[in-house]
Each structure stands twice: as C-alpha cells, then as structure tokens.
C-alpha cells in the first residue's frame, strides 16, 4: 500500500471538529500534549492554570483544578468517549498520531457506520478518533 496516497500532510485536517473542557492533573504536561502532539494552537493562557486552545476552529479548554484531587480525574478516565475527534480519514489520522508518539489502545476498526480508534491523554482521559463511513 502506498502511504503517500492515504496520509494527509498533517493532523488535524479539514473536517475535524471539537469542543471540550478538561480538568487536568498536570497542566504543563497536558498543555504540551494537546499543543505538540495533537497540534492545537494556544490562544490564551493563565500560566499553570488555564489554557484556551484552538483545534481547527474548535476549542479545547484545559483547566488545572485548584485543590482538587487527582482521584477525581482517575474516576473519570474510564468513561467511554470522553472526547471524540471527528476526522475525515481515521487510518490517516492514526498513522500521523502514532508517528508523534501516541500509543493507541486499539488500531482503527469498523463499528457500525464509524471507523474508530482509541487512546489516552496524559491524565488518562479516553480519546477517540472517528470517521463517519458512507452508508
């Protein structure tokens, strides 16, 4: 298979949509992950506390909970579909993210009218990339 025909130039690509607020345990580590691995752009920041990131026109807000326990984060980590990133081509996004060091729980697989793959962020939130398939 010729990878140049299926891989996009970068990730995220056109067609990706996201809007989500995440309470994070290690603000600096999470900011680096969402900015450097997923490719989000920092729009506004209250250092060590709050970041507003642009993700191809969508928004991610990272919040370091003051006085909150990391146990609360651990409880939420098992929730399925904590954050879903809709992508035009799941396999292409999977390959780009793997090349950036993301360790996937599953490779892309077909589930109904979706192609899906799952991975965790540094706080253990479950993330999903999903592609809608034509009926």
User: What is the domain extent for residue 80?
Assistant: 11-132
Predicted confidence at residue 47, as pLDDT, reads 83
Q: What confidence tier does 30 reach under pLDDT thresholds 50, 70, 90?
A: very high
Tell me, what's the pLDDT at 39?
Answer: 93
Higher pLDDT, 57 or 16: 57
**Is 103 a residue whose pLDDT tops 90?**
yes
Mean per-residue pLDDT for 45-55? 87
What residues contact 12, with CB distance under 8 A and at least 6 apart? Answer: 38, 39, 55, 56, 85, 87, 93
Q: Is residue 82 included in any domain, yes or no?
A: yes
CATH of the domain at 18: 3.10.180.10
Q: Is residue 6 part of a domain?
A: no
> Which of 19-33, 34-48, 63-77 ranks highest by mean pLDDT?
34-48
Establish if 35 belongs to a structural domain.
Answer: yes
Query: How many domains is the chain partitioned into structurally?
Result: 1
Tell me whether residue 94 is in a domain: yes
Average pLDDT over every residue of 19-23: 77
What is the pTM assigned to this prediction? Answer: 0.65
Q: Is there a domain that residue 117 lies in?
A: yes
Give a yes or no: residue 2 inside a domain: no
Instruction: Read off the pLDDT of each residue in 11-22 and give the average, rounded to a whole number.
Output: 72
pLDDT at residue 72 greater than cutoff 90: no
Q: Which of 29-33, 66-70, 106-110, 112-116 has the lowest mean pLDDT?
A: 66-70
- The mean pLDDT of the chain is 81
Confidence at residue 79, expressed as pLDDT on a 0 to 100 scale: 42
Identify whether 30 is part of a domain: yes
Question: Is residue 5 assigned to a domain?
Answer: no
């Amino acid at each position: 298979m010729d990878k140049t025909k299926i891989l996009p130039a970068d990730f995220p690509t056109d067609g990706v949509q996201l809007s989500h607020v995440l309470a994070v345990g290690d603000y600096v580590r999470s900011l680096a992950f969402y900015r450097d691995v997923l490719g989000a752009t920092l729009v506004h920041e209250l250092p060590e506390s709050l970041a507003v990131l642009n993700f191809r026109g969508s928004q991610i807000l990272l919040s370091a909970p003051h006085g909150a326990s990391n146990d609360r984060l651990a409880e939420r980590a098992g929730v399925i579909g904590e954050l879903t990133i809709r992508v035009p081509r799941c396999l292409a996004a999977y390959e780009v993210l793997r090349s950036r060091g993301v360790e996937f729980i599953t490779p892309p697989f077909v589930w109904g009218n979706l192609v899906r793959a799952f991975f965790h962020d540094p706080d253990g939130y479950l993330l999903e990339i999903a592609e809608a398939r034509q009926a």
